[in-house]
Amino acid sequence: MATKDVRINQKELFGHPVGLYILFFTEMWERFSYYGMRAILVLYLVSATTEGNAGLGWTQAEALALYGWYTMLVYVASIPGGILADKVFGQKRAVLIGGIVLVAGHGILAVEQMWAFYTGLALIIAGVGFLKPNISTMVGGLYKEGDIRRDKGFTIFYIGINLGAFLSSLIVGYVGENIGWHYGFGLAGIAMALGLIVYLLGQKHLTNVGNLLSKVERDEGASLGNLFQDLFSSPLQLTISAILLIASLFGFYYMGIAYGLLFIFLTLVISMMMMVYKDLTTKVMKDRYVVMLLSFILVIVFWGAFEQAGGLMNIYALDNTNRSLPFSLPLIGNEVPASWFQSLNAMFIIIFGLVVANFWAKRKLKNKEASSIFKMATGVIIMGLGFVFMVFAALQFEANGSSAMYWLVLAYLFHTIGELCSSPVALSFITKLAPIRYASLMMGVYFAATGLGNKVAGIVGEFASEAGDIAIFSGITIFTIAFASIVLIMLKPLKRLTHGVEDNERELEEQEGYELADENLK
């Protein structure tokens, strides 16, 4: 099925559809609220209950465990959020629902009660699950198949994400650490309300993006109920699912209820992925689907290392880094707040985002290697090299009792360049490979993979107190570089499985309004 022209020409601004900038500012404020809260969450948990700005007094291991579960669930919730968008609400309405739930969640966090703390976290998990996969899928829907600007559009969108993250780490971080943790949480809620207002006011630029598919289009593929019903008619998939379910039950017994439920959820997801593969009708679609699933493994590895930023590296900045300045600054004096280091990643993305995107676009136009898989694997290697600086920081701490701030700055710089090569590219890659009837679901699985990476980051952080910082940072460096190198060795066969989905990308003179409607049937 060829891509269909489904609406009139879109208005453009700076060479991209105006709708991109509506989604840009919506996501900017949503990420301001999320990353602002994330910047102070672990610090709030480990702060002593007897201090003036009292926290919960948890141990480092307890705080990182909750951080890992929370950040994982935020993204895992993208799977039901994607399913409901594909089958019930449409992406555009799902984003609206997510925004409303997020405003409520961040607002409740401002209440200084434990019930409010856990309720607020639960609502944020649900809200992000509705909003995150669907707003990203809408970005892909703004571009015609084969338009090389799609990757650049996702990078611009990604800059919006990180503009919000940069501002929030500074503003919410300062308010939380110096005025009150719950004031910081409340400020994040106000930011989310602004994002919701932007989204509502910009609907006229999104009229033909993110709408619920017609019943005929939705019914072209199997329903989720039929997918699991068909599982029982497929001996191989049923056997694999049964083995995973048995392993999940062992998880209940040996690792507790939380991990047992996680393993059961993963069993359901894997079973669903196998049946979606069976439902696809052509070899091209099946091969591309396999590549997309393999790319999710890269995503898990990347975020499992990268997300040490909000946990282990955040605590390292607080406890082991000399944050004193030779001069005094307004409001903060001569000591940099630990939470401010969270803003480095976002600041570097704003500075280098388009530089990296233009580098890859020019490389592509010169017919040099610039496939999404190549960029993602390269990003993992660059990010892994950033932990070399954390090894140097840990060595300096052991020798002197504190480490210099520039090690953290260099680590975040390399992490950011790696992220720019990997994360926005992965978002764009999924919109190229995903069958339309499972578009939001596949984006949901991508974010679930991101969530699993976050959980891996939390587990690794928990072991840091036993293994030591040098061992953890060195281990992350070696593993990430080795894993990404294996992917690069397999690059040619993986590219063949994409059946040239990126081969004909070019600058298009006229951008027409297109939904993500490529059925990958070439």
Give me the CATH number covering residue 51.
1.20.1250.20
Neighbours of 8 (CB within 10 A): 10
Question: Do both 226 and 135 map to the same domain?
Answer: no
Rounded to an integer, what distance in angstroms lies between the CA atom of residue 371 and that of residue 361?
10
Q: Mark whether 269 and 318 lie in a shared domain.
A: no
Distance from CA of residue 367 to its chain's centroid?
29
Residues of the domain holding 442? 12-213+281-325+334-497
Q: How many Å apart are CA 264 and CA 252, to the nearest integer?
A: 9
Q: Rounded distance, CA 212 to CA 214, Å?
A: 6
Domain identity same for 290 and 383: yes
Measured in degrees and rounded to the nearest 5, phi and psi for residue 123 equal -65, -35
What is residue 152's three-state secondary structure? helix
Assign 7 to helix, strand or coil.
Answer: coil
Tokens of 382: 């660059």
d(CA 163, CA 343): 9
Residue 510 in any domain: the answer is: no
* Count of domains forming the chain: 2
* Nearby residues of 415 by Cβ (< 8 Å), 6 or more positions away: 306, 309, 345, 383, 386
Cα four-point dihedral sign 288, 289, 292, 297 = negative
- Close Cβ partners of 39 (under 8 Å, ≥ 6 residues apart): 168, 169, 172, 173, 176, 310, 314, 339, 342
| Coil/strand/helix, residue 329 | strand
Same domain assignment for residues 351 and 410: yes
Whether 258 and 244 share a structural domain: yes
Same-domain pairing of 138 and 53: yes
Contact 289/437 with Cβ under 8 angstroms?
no
Cite the beta strand spans of 180-254 per DSSP E: none
520 lies in a domain? no
Whose structure tokens read 């059946």?
499
- 79 with 125: CB under 8 angstroms? no
Give CA–CA dist 169/310, Å, rounded: 11
Q: Find tokens 């992000």 and name the residue.
A: 128
pLDDT given for residue 193 in this prediction: 92
502 within domain boundaries = no
Residue 123 and residue 100: Cα distance in Å, rounded? 10
Cα dihedral value 326, 328, 329, 334, nearest 10: 70
Based on the fold, state whether residues 366 and 227 are members of the same structural domain: no
Residue 311 and residue 181 share a domain: yes
232 and 291 both lie in a single domain: no
Whole-number Cα distances in Å, 391 to 282, 385, 397, 453: 48, 10, 10, 21
Nearest one of 315, 312, 244, 267 to 471, comparing CA atoms: 312
pLDDT given for residue 137 in this prediction: 80
Give the three-state DSSP class for 506: strand
Q: Burial of 493 by CB count in 10 Å (0-12 exposed, 13-18 middle, 19+ buried)?
A: exposed
Q: Check: CB of residue 39 under 8 Å from CB of residue 172.
A: yes
What one-character DSSP code corresponds to residue 330? Answer: T
Sort 511 into a burial class: Cβ within 10 Å, 0-12 / 13-18 / 19+.
middle
- Are 294 and 372 within one domain? yes
User: Do 351 and 481 belong to one domain?
Assistant: yes
Q: What is the 3-state secondary structure (H, E, C) of 111-147?
A: CCCHHHHHHHHHHHHHHHHHHHHHHHHHHHCCCCCCE
Which of left, alpha, beta for 153 (phi over 0: left; psi -120 to 50: alpha)?
alpha
- 3 occurs within a structural domain: no
Q: Distance (Å, rounded) from C-alpha 452 to C-alpha 438?
A: 21
Same domain, 250 and 274: yes
Closest among 263, 298, 281 to 220, alpha carbons compared: 281
Is residue 412 in a domain? yes
Distance of CA 118 to the CA centre of its chain: 22
3-state secondary structure of 335: strand
Report how far residue 61's alpha carbon sits from residue 10's, in angstroms, rounded to the nearest whole number: 51
Three-state secondary structure call for residue 282: coil
Q: Which two tokens stand for residue 505?
A: 């990308």
CA dist list (Å): 521 to 7, 214, 333, 401, 515: 22, 20, 61, 61, 16
**Euclidean distance between CA atoms 94 and 76, whole angstroms:** 16
In a domain, 517, yes or no: no
Q: Say what the pLDDT of residue 35 is.
A: 80
pLDDT below 50 — which residues of the chain? 1-8, 221-222, 508-522
First to last CA, the chain: 8
Q: Residue 424: inside a domain, yes or no? A: yes
d(CA 508, CA 522): 20
pLDDT of residue 486: 94
Residue 445 lies in a domain: yes
